[in-house]
């Protein structure tokens, strides 16, 4: 029913980098606040926001009208913060994300439904070492100066979905996500970083049989990041290092300059969902293609870098509910092959960076509800097998890691009188994956979550708080995160 | 019908999967190999040409920040693997203090990845100019007040004899709008925007001596700039000469001899804070020309004693001020305006006609001495 950013994934950078770390670790990821508070258990936990249907599992806008029954509006507030030195070199020492959001969903008539959201967000990258981009890890090209400073990004994010039922067996839908932000670094070289992200989705949903939904989605996207320098108050020259991978860089001295990266891409999803009384199965085959072109502002514009990313991804999620028991069993799996490569446009016949990734994943979960006591217990275990290479030919730096990632989750909820509930959970990730292989190897993550809800007339208040800690055996460095979010939902 | 629709949709998706994007190149970056044979053509060590053992070979990229020094083997051979594609300056030098010999050679090479480039580097005595530009201070010292009036040019007598600067001209070069693009290498003169001349007549008078291994500082304005600009500004009260332009509202320190303008510019001598060229010439031959209402001076290359081109920004995309024949590379890469830094020869008098090799950022200016 619901798809909204959680404490874990919210942020302007989420559109790019969070996909790499968080989403890979959890194929059946759900963004509901209830599952977030229950340790992110999602494989077998039945929840209105975590159903095996084309909208919750595959965000097919054509299914929007069938995904909810009552209209609602919601106000959400969130604050989260990560801090610590167990990070990649260009991650900020402290990352603070705050947003306020308004969201709503409504049936226009029997055949049409809409949802929309508007959020205003602040992303505060503190003690950012050298990097001058909102996300230096979206390709092998990046800009740096020689200072450390705070960068604050402000901006709105909007999204909208619309579905239209053409017939009892066919629906179409369209969706749009748009985000824009402006970031300023408070210290020499004082760049202005403009981030602009747009993604559309056009979905088709067919129901050849009562128990079978077949969906198709096309998702064009465009992302533009521009880092511009208008000079400093001190009138000093701007000394910028432009990196092409980690080994090749040039030093540029300017009084004013700007560099733009424009990423364009398209994603195609083919979805199948089968639902019977006891069994629900969802499969999604995804093809994603994106190319990123970096350009310096000169006359004529100077081509700086080219990056291409292709992903073939197949995932499934299935649940089985045995007869006359409050038990739900679930399995999920994923097979993903991603291949990214880069070159320098001046030397087109030469590959600069090569980044193939292979993920094979299998998970199982169970949830059990003790009705009289109002107690629900859920547990997931996911085994991810990663094979990642990060070959920086320009730097003669060749990295490869083949490792098993274990993810365990446990969640508990106590609900009483359909009025309030208390939730808690823990999530342990053994070996966080980083596609660039720049995070210290075998970094583990422990997350503890808690939350609750309270219903009063047509209002419902949900809250979640999460504390996380990343550790690694060979170093004393750690990274901690703490965040919370509150929803105020009014049913219409 | 429904099945057909599904099949068509899948086929479209499959076609998209196969059709998107550029082809991934098969050749990897960083695989270029450079094989050099350093050859002594001077005949100082043996009859005929022979390999130069233990020569220091500096490989500098013209397109990105790369500089490494290698040493040739006993046969004078060197093989460097793992270089990225691009243009490189290759500079070889061999200093033999025992026999007081300095051999040098240089060339510019283009490397492509996954290919082996073999070449011979001919080394010989450095064509020593008796008088060279040893230090240039042009960056300015105080950004908050746009203060750059403490610029100076330092000359050096690399010989053991007293020489005379009489009649020698100091020129700031002009990016040649006069010439069509890419034609800088087709003419036999350098273009000057303005030209200042030492008193006297070359070969006749002896008014401006420069002693053996002596430094001469020519200040834009021979005053203590620290008083006016503060910060990193340089005290030039002890300068040997001062650029003076009677057409401009130029300060004149009467206790410091002037070198005066020959051109008709109405501004004081000043160097660009980021990129330009400076050269000195005998002053025996030059031609004034007019172009688009501006006047320039053509100075024949054969009369030029030394030339230095500098640029804060590295790269080969910029239009050059000076022909490669008098300065093959750019000094001062990465030096910011108002940084209070100068560029200076690594070794006084060492001049291979390639400023990217001969010069380095010296940090605090050193008028009248070397760092």
On average, the pLDDT of chain A sits at 90
- Residues B219-270: pLDDT tens digits? 999 999 999 888 889 999 999 999 999 888 888 999 999 999 998 888 889 9
- Residues A438-461: pLDDT tens digits? 999 999 999 999 999 999 999 999
List, in sequence order, every residue forming a beta bridge with B260; answer none if it has no partner: B197, B244
DSSP run (H or E) holding A248: strand A248-254
> Is the CB of residue A487 less than 8 Å away from at least one CB of chain B?
no
Average pLDDT over residues A289-296: 94
**pLDDT greater than 50 at residue A5:** no
Q: How far is A287 from chain B (nearest CA, A)?
A: 7
The reported pLDDT for the residue numbered B367 is 94
Question: Whose CA is closest to B211, among B134, B282, B130, B305?
Answer: B130
d(CA A303, CA A291): 14
Average pLDDT over residues A168-176: 96
Higher pLDDT: B353 or A172? It is: A172
d(CA B208, CA B200): 8
> Is the CB of residue B25 less than 8 Å away from at least one CB of chain A?
yes
Q: How far is B29 from chain A (nearest CA, A)?
A: 5
> Is the CB of residue A341 less than 8 Å away from at least one CB of chain B?
yes
List, in sequence order, every residue forming a beta bridge with A107; answer none if it has no partner: A113
The reported pLDDT for the residue numbered B14 is 59
d(CA B155, CA B136): 9
pLDDT above 70 covers a percentage of chain A that reads 92
Average pLDDT over residues A262-282: 96
DSSP secondary structure string, A13-30? GGGTTHIIIIIHH-TT--
- ipTM, interface predicted TM-score of the complex: 0.79
Main-chain phi, psi angles of A59, to 5 degrees: 40, 55
- Asked if B16 lies within 8 A of A251 by C-beta distance, the reply is no
CB A249 within 8 A of CB B65: yes
Centroid of chain to Cα B305: 14
Given a cut of 50, the residues of chain B with pLDDT beneath it are 1
- Residues A55-99: pLDDT tens digits? 999 999 999 999 999 999 999 999 999 999 999 999 999 999 999
CB nearest A308 (choices: B22, B315, B337): B22
Average pLDDT over residues A387-411: 96
> Is the CB of residue B11 less than 8 Å away from at least one CB of chain A?
no
| A residues 65-84 closer than 8 Å to B (CB) | none
**pLDDT greater than 50 at residue A24:** no
The reported pLDDT for the residue numbered A23 is 37
d(CA A453, CA A383): 31
- Asked if A351 lies within 8 A of B24 by C-beta distance, the reply is yes
Higher pLDDT: B185 or A472? It is: A472
- Asked if B27 lies within 8 A of A344 by C-beta distance, the reply is no
The reported pLDDT for the residue numbered B317 is 58
Q: What are the sequence ranges of the domains in chain B? A: 32-125, 131-363
CB nearest A393 (choices: B16, B28, B317): B28
d(CA A16, CA A120): 18
Residue A407 lies in a domain: yes
Question: pLDDT grade, residue A250 (50/70/90)?
Answer: confident
CB nearest B24 (choices: A237, A244, A341): A341
> Is the CB of residue A262 less than 8 Å away from at least one CB of chain B?
no
List, in sequence order, every residue forming a beta bridge with B310; answer none if it has no partner: B276, B331
> Is the CB of residue B44 less than 8 Å away from at least one CB of chain A?
no
Average pLDDT over residues A146-164: 96
Main-chain phi, psi angles of A138, to 5 degrees: -100, -5
A354-383 residues labelled b (16+ CB within 10 A) or e (exposed):
bbbbebebebbbbbebeeeeeebbbbbebe
d(CA A180, CA B35): 51
User: At which residue do the structure tokens 């066919």 appear?
Assistant: A170
d(CA A306, CA B29): 14
Cβ neighbours of B142 in A, within 8 Å: none
Q: How far is B200 from chain A (nearest CA, A)?
A: 40
Please count the structural domains in chain A: 1
- The domain B32-125 having CATH identifier 2.60.40.1930: the answer here is no
d(CA A143, CA A193): 11
The reported pLDDT for the residue numbered A8 is 36
Residue A6 lies in a domain: no
Residue A1 lies in a domain: no
Residue A2 lies in a domain: no
Q: Which of A269-273, A374-378, B285-289, B311-315 has the lowest mean pLDDT?
A: B311-315
- Asked if A235 lies within 8 A of B143 by C-beta distance, the reply is yes
Residue A3 lies in a domain: no
DSSP secondary structure string, B293-359? TEEEEEEEGGGEEEEEEEESS--S-SPPSS-TTT--S-B-TTPPTTS--EEEESSTT---S-HHHHE
Cβ neighbours of B113 in A, within 8 Å: 347, 350
Domain span at residue A20 reads: 12-491
d(CA B331, CA B52): 27
> Is the CB of residue B113 less than 8 Å away from at least one CB of chain A?
yes
Question: pLDDT grade, residue A18 (50/70/90)?
Answer: very low
- Residues A311-366: pLDDT tens digits? 999 999 999 999 989 999 999 999 999 999 999 888 878 999 999 999 999 999 99
Cβ neighbours of B24 in A, within 8 Å: 308, 341, 351
pTM reported for the whole predicted model: 0.81
d(CA A268, CA A223): 17
> Is the CB of residue B285 less than 8 Å away from at least one CB of chain A?
no
> Is the CB of residue A202 less than 8 Å away from at least one CB of chain B?
no
The reported pLDDT for the residue numbered B180 is 76
Cβ neighbours of A307 in B, within 8 Å: none
CATH number where A296 lies: 2.40.170
Residue A7 lies in a domain: no
> Is the CB of residue A289 less than 8 Å away from at least one CB of chain B?
yes
The reported pLDDT for the residue numbered B87 is 87
> Is the CB of residue B313 less than 8 Å away from at least one CB of chain A?
yes
The reported pLDDT for the residue numbered B10 is 59
The reported pLDDT for the residue numbered B274 is 86
- Residues A232-249: pLDDT tens digits? 666 677 888 999 999 999
> Is the CB of residue A256 less than 8 Å away from at least one CB of chain B?
no
């Amino acid at each position: 029913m619901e798809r909204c950013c959680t404490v874990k994934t919210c942020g302007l950078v989420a559109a790019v980098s969070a996909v790499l770390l968080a989403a890979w670790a959890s194929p059946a990821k759900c963004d509901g606040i209830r599952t977030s508070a229950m340790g992110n258990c999602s494989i077998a936990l039945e929840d209105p926001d975590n159903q095996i249907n084309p909208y919750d599992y595959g965000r097919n806008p054509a299914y929007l009208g069938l995904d909810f029954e009552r209209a609602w509006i919601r106000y959400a507030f969130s604050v989260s913060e990560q801090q610590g030195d167990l990070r990649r070199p260009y991650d900020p020492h402290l990352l603070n994300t705050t947003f306020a959001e308004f969201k709503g969903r409504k049936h226009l008539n029997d055949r049409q439904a809409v949802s929309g959201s508007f959020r205003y967000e602040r992303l505060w990258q503190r003690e950012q070492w050298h990097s001058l981009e909102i996300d230096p890890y979206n390709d092998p090209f990046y800009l740096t100066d020689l200072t450390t400073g705070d960068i604050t990004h402000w901006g709105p994010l909007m999204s909208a979905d619309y579905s239209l039922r053409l017939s009892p067996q066919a629906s179409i839908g369209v969706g749009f996500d748009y985000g824009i932000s402006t970031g300023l670094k408070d210290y020499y070289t004082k760049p202005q970083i403009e981030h602009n992200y747009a993604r559309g989705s056009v979905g088709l949903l067919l129901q050849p049989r009562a128990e079978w939904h077949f969906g198709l989605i096309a998702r064009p996207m465009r992302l533009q990041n521009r880092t511009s320098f208008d000079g400093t108050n001190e009138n000093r020259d701007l000394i910028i290092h432009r990196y092409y991978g980690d080994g090749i860089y040039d030093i540029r001295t300017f009084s004013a300059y700007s560099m733009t990266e424009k990423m364009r891409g398209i994603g195609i999803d083919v979805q199948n969902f089968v639902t019977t009384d006891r069994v629900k199965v969802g499969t999604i085959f995804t093809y994603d293609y994106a190319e990123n072109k970096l350009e310096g502002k000169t006359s004529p514009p100077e081509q700086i870098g080219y990056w291409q990313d292709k992903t073939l991804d197949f995932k499934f999620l299935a649940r089985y509910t045995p007869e006359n028991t409050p038990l739900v069993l679930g399995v999920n799996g994923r097979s993903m092959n991603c291949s990214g490569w880069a070159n320098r446009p001046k030397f087109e016949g030469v590959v600069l960076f090569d980044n193939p990734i292979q993920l094979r994943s299998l998970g199982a979960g169970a949830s059990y509800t003790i009705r009289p006591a109002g107690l629900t217990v859920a547990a997931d275990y996911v085994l991810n097998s990663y094979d990642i290479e990060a070959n920086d030919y320009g730097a003669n730096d060749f990295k490869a890691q083949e490792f098993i990632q274990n993810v365990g989750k446990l969640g508990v909820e106590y609900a009483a009188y359909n009025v309030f509930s208390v939730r808690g959970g823990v999530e342990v990730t053994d070996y966080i994956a980083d596609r660039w292989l720049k995070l210290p190897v075998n970094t583990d993550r422990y997350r503890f979550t808690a939350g609750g809800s309270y219903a009063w007339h047509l209002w419902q208040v949900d809250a979640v708080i999460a504390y996380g800690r990343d550790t690694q055996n060979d170093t004393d460095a750690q990274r901690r995160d703490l965040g919370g979010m509150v929803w105020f939902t009014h049913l219409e | 019908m429904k099945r057909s629709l599904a099949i068509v949709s899948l086929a479209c998706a499959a076609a998209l999967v196969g059709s998107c994007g550029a082809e991934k190149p098969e050749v990897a970056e960083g695989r270029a190999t450079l094989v050099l044979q350093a050859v002594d053509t001077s005949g100082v060590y043996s009859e005929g040409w022979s390999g130069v053992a233990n020569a220091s070979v500096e490989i500098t990229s013209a397109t990105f920040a790369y500089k490494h020094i290698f040493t040739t083997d006993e046969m004078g051979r060197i093989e460097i693997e793992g270089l990225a594609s691009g243009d490189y300056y290759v500079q070889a030098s061999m200093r033999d203090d025992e026999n007081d010999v300095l051999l040098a050679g240089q060339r510019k090479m283009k490397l492509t990845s996954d290919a082996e480039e073999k070449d011979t580097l001919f080394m010989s005595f450095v064509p020593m100019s008796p008088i060279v530009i040893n230090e240039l201070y042009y960056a300015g010292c105080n950004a908050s007040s746009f203060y750059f009036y403490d610029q100076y040019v330092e000359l050096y007598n690399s010989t053991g004899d007293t020489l005379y600067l009489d009649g020698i001209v100091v020129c700031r070069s002009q990016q040649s709008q006069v010439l069509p693009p890419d034609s800088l290498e087709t003419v036999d003169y350098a273009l000057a925007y303005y030209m200042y001349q030492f008193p006297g007549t070359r070969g006749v008078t002896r008014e401006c001596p420069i002693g053996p291994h002596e430094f001469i500082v020519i200040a834009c304005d021979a005053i203590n700039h620290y008083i006016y600009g503060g910060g990193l500004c340089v005290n030039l009260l002890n300068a040997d000469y001062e650029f003076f332009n009677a057409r401009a509202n130029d300060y004149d320190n009467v206790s410091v001899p002037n070198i005066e303008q020959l051109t008709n510019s109405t501004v004081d001598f000043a160097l660009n804070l980021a990129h330009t060229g400076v050269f000195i010439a005998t002053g025996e031959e030059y031609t004034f020309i007019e172009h688009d209402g501006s006047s320039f001076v053509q100075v024949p290359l054969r009369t030029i004693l030394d030339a230095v081109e500098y640029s804060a920004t590295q790269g080969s995309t910029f239009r050059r001020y000076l022909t490669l024949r008098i300065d093959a590379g750019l000094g001062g890469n990465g030096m910011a305006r108002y940084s209070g830094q100068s560029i200076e020869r690594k070794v006084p008098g060492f001049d291979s006609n390639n400023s990217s090799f001969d010069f380095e950022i010296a940090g605090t200016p050193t008028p009248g001495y070397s760092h």
